[in-house]
Amino acid sequence: MSYVIGIDLGTSAVKLLLVSKEGEVKVEVSQSYPLQQVRSGYSEQNPADWLEQTIVGLSELVTQFKGSVDEIKGISFSGQMHGLVLLNKSNEVLRPAILWNDTRTTSQCRQLEQTIGKEDLLRITKNPALEGFTLPKLLWVKEHEPEIFEQTNVFMLPKDYLRYGLTGAIHTEYSDAGGTLLLDIEKQTWSSELLSRLGIDETICPPLVSSHAFVGHVTAQVAEATGLSPQTKVFAGGADNACGAIGAGILSEETTLVSIGTSGVVLSYEKDKETRVDGKVHFFHHAEPGAFYKMGVTLSAGYSLSWFKDTFAKEQDIEQLIREAGEREPGANGLLFTPYLTGERSPHADAAIRASFIGMSSTHTQADFVRAVLEGITFSLKDSIELFREMGTKVEKIISIGGGAKSEVWLQLQANIFNARIVKQTSEQGPGMGAAMLAAFGVGWFDSLETCAEAFLSEQSTYEPDPIQVERYAEMYPLYKDVYTQTKQLNQALTTYR
């Protein structure tokens, strides 16, 4: 027997899957780490925590594995996107990583628009300046922590740091590089034009490789700490959403992906680099060679639910909370929630907006609140689905992945709010499975990711939209959308108090 390992460096936890050559998940391990949010809009993690927990997870996986470690042929990665990791000349981490959901960089985004111009940014990177992307974070460090910027030898993205920790080799790959806002998407190179206009030395950008590229073996030290064989081959990997797309079989334009992890994502495959999304949604390289995807992002999707639970129902079981919410009426008895806890990206690129509960009454119970949170998160994903539909994308069949896809109640809610058929696969761990598939493709078990998908992926259950509930949610949706318009100025005024 032969196996590969897919490692998904999420925001809440690192998830490791041991997958057989037949695509069966044999061992699944998850190790969590904290998120530091010291001020509203700030979000950081310690790269040492990622590496430490991955090593713990790998040794746990090896312990649970019944076979010989020589049978584990390859490892690859999926990782939360955009996070800025800075290393000095000795490859030591210079400061905590500034994450994708950190929105402190509004002024750097405006500066970028002035220095480069919105049109040139779109022409080169196919994306607008958004707080979550890596370049504004780099400019923030340059401005606020010049002594750290001076010492920077190379920047990295989260899963690239993990790969460096396991192999000692420094790279990034195209699917994550697009999310830095420094990649020339058409030329597939770091943009010398942007870098020179911003006065940033190109040497701080890591070398670029393809997602399935072989980049080395695990080091002897890592092999000893985890029990893995030092012969285990390591492949580059991809951005978590690109890997999620692979792990959900989004390798053609027919199906759409919805991922509910810490963030929420709506994603569809694009063959053509000429596709224009005009900055309304993101446009990046897929982890499949030569392909692309467009993507809308809700910053606090699963995070809104976790926040609610941690703040108001810490001791309660998440599944029980969702089950009780599922028994309440659609519309949560007139309670609306907008999930803007850390600002928003799609369709409102607004770092200052914050979440609301609208319509609270003394008759509302905890279950109504949880229902409103689930509905609000799902409405916010519908905003991206509507953008896709306006662009001409048919959204009829959706593969749903991420922590949110563990819940039947939430899957049915997605079908009713999106008015689309929702499919859950045998594993909801799309990004980890996508990473395992990149390793399987990399070691040469398959001649394409499509053939790998045929062997590895299968659908488990389908959720059809219920026409009565579809109509009810269609009536509520304009009310949900109005909350943004009505609370925008209020939230802007409240920034002084944060």
Ligand X SMILES: Nc1ncnc2c1ncn2[C@@H]1O[C@H](COP(=O)(O)OP(=O)(O)O)[C@@H](O)[C@H]1O
Binding residues for substrate: 81-82
Residue 406 interacts with, from ligand X, ligand 5SP, none (CB under 5-8 Å by kind): ligand X
Which range touches ligand X (CB under 6 A), out of 297-305, 325-333, 356-364, 465-473?
Answer: 297-305
Least separation in angstroms between residue 34's CB and ligand X is 12
Using the CB atoms, write b or e for 101-140: b if 16+ within 10 Å: bbbbbbebbebbeeebeeeebbebbbbbbbbbbbbbbbbb
Residue 132 interacts with, from ligand X, ligand 5SP, none (CB under 5-8 Å by kind): ligand 5SP
Q: Does 425 bind ligand X (CB under 6 A)?
A: no
Q: Which of 3, 5, 7, 10 binds ligand X (CB under 6 A)?
A: 10
Contacts of 343 (CB under 8 A, 6+ apart): 41, 103, 131, 299, 350, 351, 352, 353, 354
Catalytic residue among 240, 350, 368, 383: 240
Residue 100 interacts with, from ligand X, ligand 5SP, none (CB under 5-8 Å by kind): ligand 5SP
Task: Enumerate residues 60-89 that contact ligand 5SP by CB under 6 A.
Answer: 80-82
Q: Is 240 a catalytic residue?
A: yes
Q: Does 132 bind ligand 5SP (CB under 6 A)?
A: yes
Residue 123 interacts with, from ligand X, ligand 5SP, none (CB under 5-8 Å by kind): none
Task: Enumerate residues 341-380 that contact ligand X by CB under 6 A.
Answer: none
Least separation in angstroms between residue 83's CB and ligand 5SP is 8
Residue 81 interacts with, from ligand X, ligand 5SP, none (CB under 5-8 Å by kind): ligand 5SP
Binding track over 422-451 against ligand 5SP, x by CB under 6 A: ------------------------------
Binding track over 190-229 against ligand 5SP, x by CB under 6 A: ----------------------------------------
The residue (of 431 and 465) whose beta carbon lies closer to ligand 5SP is: 431
Q: Which of 77, 292, 303, 480 binds ligand X (CB under 6 A)?
A: 303
Contact 76/162 with Cβ under 8 angstroms? no
The residue (of 11 and 43) whose beta carbon lies closer to ligand X is: 11
Q: How far apart are CA 341 and CA 303, in angstroms?
A: 9
Binding track over 94-133 against ligand X, x by CB under 6 A: ----------------------------------------
Q: Does 174 bind ligand 5SP (CB under 6 A)?
A: no
Q: How far apart are CA 276 and CA 294, in angstroms?
A: 10
Where do contacts with ligand X occur on this chain (CB under 6 A)?
Answer: 10-13, 261-262, 302-303, 305-306, 318-319, 322, 402-404, 406-407, 410
